[in-house]
Amino acid sequence: MSILIDKHSRVITQGMTGKMGRFHTALCRDYGSGSKCFVGGVNPRKGGTQCDGLPVFGSVKEAKAKTGATVSVVYVPAASAADAIDEAVGAGIELIVCITAGISAADMDRIRRRVESGRTLLVGPNCPGLITPEEIKIGILPGHLHQRGRIGVVSRSPALASETARQLGSFGIGQSTVVGVGSDPAGGLTHVDVLKLFNEDAHTDAVIMVGEVTGDAEERAASWIRDHMRKPVVGFIAQGTANVADAAALAGAEHKLAAMEACGIHVTRNPADIGTLLASLVIPDYLPFD
């Protein structure tokens, strides 16, 4: 009933002994099946110790060998984050979730080539993570806003990933998985990558896609949806850090929304209406905006 992660995932935290890694690992362990899913941490200088009852390993390779880890979440500072991702790829980790922001474009170009040459999937960097409600969350999304259901969410906006879940909850609609892909231009999984997974997931009935003004990921996703998507998609473009009075940003958002509409996506120009629009598509006899 999910994509990418579920209650059977085995997760290690790279950077677990740091303030942010320790704090959010504790929250994730307290959510759903997290106490069983999170199996250790990695710090090259603290291998052989423990942190909050979990073993700390000196390398990802050692952590994977001793715990069977399939997922790594990265909270390592930006200057070292690319090397941490590279290490996880080399160790054969299946999914890497990089929360860290501020990784240089040059480092990300190197990492993207590294990831594309193997079988590892990368979410992020500069992302809030992902959550399969009531089972597992990895990253910094607030678990209490999410409930289990059959709607997939993929978002470049961290704030709207959770706001969308809150709106859906007001209609009693839950999510299969929520994926925050991050807003960096050179990242891992794209809208299209995640849409492909939702399209094949028998437990996802519809998808919400939240994009941002920058880049062309949304136009590429719209074209893919037009040609391949078998499920309804609701779309919205967030302006991110753009000033609401910025005419160029407004024009960019409108251009993307028009392209999405032309490809059959159900779009809204008001973020407060995302949940209402989705409800109109999946709840029989529900009339939106009455």
112-123 residue pLDDT tens: 999 998 899 999
Indicate the pTM of the whole model: 0.94
Residue located via tokens 């490809």: 263
- The pLDDT value recorded for residue 290 is 42
Q: Is residue 2 part of a domain?
A: no
- The pLDDT value recorded for residue 245 is 52
Residue at a domain's end among 62, 95, 123 = 123
Q: Is residue 130 part of a domain?
A: no
Give the range of the structural domain holding residue 262, as residue numbers without chain letter: 141-282
Give residue 214's pLDDT band: very low, low, confident or very high (50, 70, 90).
confident
Q: Is the pLDDT of residue 95 over 60?
A: yes
Residue at a domain's end among 73, 88, 123 = 123
Same domain? For 78 and 110 the reply is: yes
Select from 238, 251, 204 the least CA-distant residue to 3: 204
Q: Is residue 289 part of a domain?
A: no
Q: Is residue 265 part of a domain?
A: yes
Q: Is residue 74 part of a domain?
A: yes
Cα distances (angstroms) measured from residue 108 to each of 39, 44, 259: 27, 22, 28
Q: Is the pLDDT of residue 81 over 90?
A: yes
- The pLDDT value recorded for residue 4 is 98
Q: Is the pLDDT of residue 165 over 60?
A: yes
Neighbours of 94 (CB within 10 A): 16
